[in-house]
Amino acid sequence: MSGLNIRIVTEQDLDRCFEIETVSYSGDEAATRGKILKRIKTYPEGFIVLEGGGEVIGFINSGATRKVELSDQEFKELVGHDPEGKHIVILSVVVHPTYQGMGMASRLMKNFIYRMKKLGKSDIYLICQTELIDMYAKYGFVNLGASDSNHGGMSWNEMSLSLQDN
């Protein structure tokens, strides 16, 4: 696909980001429209979108913190977010189903990692389902083991990437 662009989110992207979130995640796993808006307003520099063909087709959003607690559900609402924090916690990595399997998540991840390094962050954390561990490992993430989180009633794995080594 030509004409791809990665940029920082704007409030005009809210409806499309919410649409992508709800068609890509099941049930309680998807963030609400209100949570996505809060993420846009609170930490836009940690929220990037991938555009293709004139529309948003995927995104990554995150928060920054001084202390990482991946099982903390309040952080999904950015409670404890500190833009000066050196640790980044990814909240969503999502590509619209129409564009999955085309390398779009890879483009987003590489760009996101680059941006977080440029912001002087020390590491990136996330939780993921077991079937995604190998995908994140391709970018240098290390599996820290099972998470205490039961977000969406599912079991999760914690992963981290040191930005000092890359």
- Look at residues 32, 93, 33, 29 and name the one whose alpha carbon lies nearest to residue 62: 93
Identify the pLDDT of residue 146. Answer: 79
- Look at residues 135, 147, 153 and name the one whose alpha carbon lies nearest to residue 26: 153
Segment 34-44 shows an average pLDDT of 93
* Entry pTM: 0.89
Identify the pLDDT of residue 90. Answer: 92
- Write out pLDDT tens, residues 50-61: 999 889 999 999
- Write out pLDDT tens, residues 67-122: 887 655 665 666 678 889 999 999 889 999 999 999 999 999 999 999 999 999 99
Q: What is the DSSP letter of 140?
A: T
- pLDDT value at 164 more than 70: yes
Cα–Cα dist 158/41, whole Å: 26
Identify the pLDDT of residue 98. Answer: 94
